[in-house]
Amino acid sequence: MEEIKAKTKDINYYILFENYTHGLALEKLLKEEGLRARIAPTPRSIQGKLTCGMSLLVLEEDIEAVRECIDRHQAKYYSIVEMECQINPNRNVFC
Amino acid sequence: MSDYVKMWEDLGMDLETHDALCQVLPTAFGDVYLSQENRPEGMGFWDFVVSEIHGIRPSELIEAQKNGQKVFGTFCVYVPDEVVIAANGIVTGLCGGSQFWVPGGEKVLPKNTCPLIKASVGARLDRTCPFFRIADIYVGENTCDGKKKAYEILAEDVPMHIMDVPQMKRPEDYDRWAHEIELFAGVVEEQTGNKVTPEKLAEAIKIVNNKRKALKRVYDARKAAKLPISGKDALLMMQIAFFDDPVRCAEMCNKLADELEQRIKDGVSVFPEGTKRIMVTGTPLAIPNWKLHHIIETSGAAVVCEEMCTGTRYFENLVDETQTTLEGQYKALADRYMKNNCACFTPNPGRIDDILRLAKEYNVDGIIDVNLKFCSIYDTEGFFVERALKEAGIPVLGIETDYTDSDAEQLKTRVEAFVEMLG
C-alpha cells in the first residue's frame, strides 16, 4: 500500500503528437536506444484539440535522456506535458 | 492522417456525449493496465489500439467501405466470421462493455435487461460508438430472450439479419445450424455482391483457424507455473480480437506468444510465487469491462483462464479444413460452432465438462462464476456449475454484477475473502 501511495506523488511526462505515425516513430526510436516509454491513451485534460489519442508516458528519471534523444534525431512531437502521476490502481473507478 | 472528429461527425455521432467516454477511458486504462509492472513488451500493440480505440480501426473500416467492402456487426461467437470473410466482407464485434452506454439502452429496454444488451442498444441509439455507426448490417442471433427482443428494436434503425441458433444439440439441430449458415451465406452474398465459393470459404476457414491457434498459444502460456502475462492483459487481447483484422490479430498474438514462451523459458513472471490461480467462468466481458479482473488481480490472485465467450469459447476447436464443397464446409462450420457450450442450450452438460477440464489444464486454485445481472440462463446454470465444482473439490465463488462501479468495494471484500480462504 505504501509503495502505491508513494507512486501517486511521482511526476510523469506525456509526450503528445499530432498523429500516431509520429508517436509510433518516436516509440520505435526510443526502444532502439534502450530508453523506456510506454504507449498510453492521452489524458483528456491535456489532449486539447489534438485528435491523436496516443501519447508516450515517460517516467521522471528517464525524461532527460528522452529529450536528448528527441533533439539528436529531430524527432517529431507536439508537446511534452509534465503532470503528477494519474495512475491509481486502488481507485476502482471503471468506464 | 485522418481527423477523427471529422470522421465522427460524418458518422452522425453525438460528439458531446461521446467526449464523456473519451474523458474516463484514459484514466481507467491507466489505473487498470499501466499500473502493472513488467508487462510483456508485446502488449504495446494493444495499448496503442486502446489509445486510438474509436479512431484507428473505424478509419480502416471506412476506407474499406470506400473500396466497396461491407462491414458486418456481430454480437455472438456463434456467428461464423468465415462466411463473411469468404465474400470479402469484414466482421466487427459490437458488444458493449461500458456503463457509459447503459442509460441509452434503458430508454427503450426494461431495466431488468442485462447490461451487455442495454449497452449495445444504447451505443447504437445514442450514436456514441463509431463501430455501431459504421456497420452496414448487424447480424443477431437468438441466444437469449433479451437479445431477441432488443434486435427487433435495433431493426427499426439498422438493417438486421437474425440467425436462428438451435437450443438443443440433437443430430437434427446440427443439420439445422448448417442450413442456417447456408442461409446466412445467401444474405452475405446479397450484401457484398460477391459469391461464396468453396475456394474462398476454404481460405477464410484457414484465416479464422489461424487466428484461433494464435489466441490459443497465448492462453497456453497461461498454463505455466510462472505466469508470463496477467489475466487483465490476456483479456484485453481477447476483447480486441473481436474488432481487429483477423490476419493482423493472429500475427500480433503469435508475436506476443513468442515473447511469453521465452519468458516461461527464462522463468519471468508478472506475479510473485504462490499467487493463487483463478479461472473465471460465465457471461462475456466485453471491452472495456475490466472490473472483475482488476479486482481479482489487486486482491492477491491472478486470472489464468476465462471460460467465456471472451475467452476459451472464442478459440477452442478448429473447423475441419479438408472439405472441398460448400455443403461439406457448411457442415464442418456447424460442427465446430455447435461445440461451443453456451448456456442457451438445454441441457448443457458440455459446459460443466469444459470447466472441469480447463480447471485441470490451467491448474486453478479456485473458480469465480460470474454472471451479468439479469442473465437468467447463465445464472440458473450456475446451480449445476457450482454443484459440479463442489463435488470436484474446487472452491467456487458465485458473483452477480453489472458495469457500474457501485459494487466494486463490496466485490473486492468478497474476492479477498475467497482468495484468503484458498490458503
The one-letter amino acid at B74 = T
Contact of A55 with chain B, judged by CB distance below 8 Å, is answered with yes
The one-letter amino acid at B89 = G
Burial state string for B221-235 with b = 16 or more CB within 10 A and e = fewer than 16: bbebeebbbbbbbbb
The one-letter amino acid at B313 = R
Split at pLDDT 50, 70, 90, the class of A9 is: low
Instruction: Check CB contact under 8 Å for B26 and A44.
Output: yes
Q: What is the pLDDT of residues B216-255, one digit of tens each?
A: 999 999 999 999 999 999 999 999 999 999 999 999 999 9
Asked if residue B248 lies in contact with residue B210, where contact means CB atoms within 8 angstroms, the answer is: no
Average per-residue pLDDT for chain A: 89
Instruction: Check CB contact under 8 Å for A87 and B47.
Output: no
Strand A79-84 with B90-93, pairing: unpaired
What are the residues whose beta carbons fall under 8 Å from the beta carbon of B161, sequence distance 6 or more?
B137, B138, B139, B140, B184, B187
Domain ranges for chain B: 4-421
Total count of domains within chain A = 1
Q: Which three cell numbers stand for residue B144?
A: 437469449
Split at pLDDT 50, 70, 90, the class of A52 is: confident
Q: By three-state DSSP, how is residue B136 classified?
A: coil
Instruction: Check CB contact under 8 Å for A41 and B408.
Output: no
Contact of A1 with chain B, judged by CB distance below 8 Å, is answered with no
Q: Is residue A6 part of a domain?
A: no
- In this structure, what CATH number is given to the domain that contains residue A16? 3.30.70.1530
- Residue A6: the pLDDT is 39
Q: By three-state DSSP, how is residue B211 classified?
A: helix
Contact of A5 with chain B, judged by CB distance below 8 Å, is answered with no
Q: Is residue A56 part of a domain?
A: yes
Q: Which three cell numbers stand for residue B314?
A: 472464442
Q: Which residue has better confidence, A2 or B365?
A: B365
Residue A59 has pLDDT above 70, yes or no: yes
Strand A11-16 with A54-59, pairing: antiparallel
Q: By three-state DSSP, how is residue B91 classified?
A: strand
Q: Is residue A55 part of a domain?
A: yes
CA separation (Å) from A30 to B96, B222, B236, B264? 35, 30, 25, 26
Contact of B408 with chain A, judged by CB distance below 8 Å, is answered with yes
- Residue B378: the pLDDT is 97
Q: What is the pLDDT of residues B288-342, one digit of tens each?
A: 999 999 999 999 999 999 999 999 999 999 999 999 999 999 999 999 999 999 9
Q: Which residues of chain B have pLDDT under 50?
A: 1-2
Contact of A21 with chain B, judged by CB distance below 8 Å, is answered with yes
Of B193, B73, B165, which Cα lies nearest the Cα of B123? B73
- Residue A7: the pLDDT is 47
Q: Is residue A4 part of a domain?
A: no
Instruction: Check CB contact under 8 Å for A92 and B295.
Output: yes
Instruction: Check CB contact under 8 Å for A94 and B294.
Output: yes
Q: Is residue A51 part of a domain?
A: yes
Residue A89: list chain B partners with CB under 8 A: 31-32, 35, 294, 298
Q: Is residue A24 part of a domain?
A: yes
Q: Is residue A89 part of a domain?
A: no
Residue A3 has pLDDT above 80, yes or no: no
| pTM score, whole prediction | 0.96
- Residue B120: the pLDDT is 97
Residue A4 has pLDDT above 70, yes or no: no
Q: Is residue A1 part of a domain?
A: no
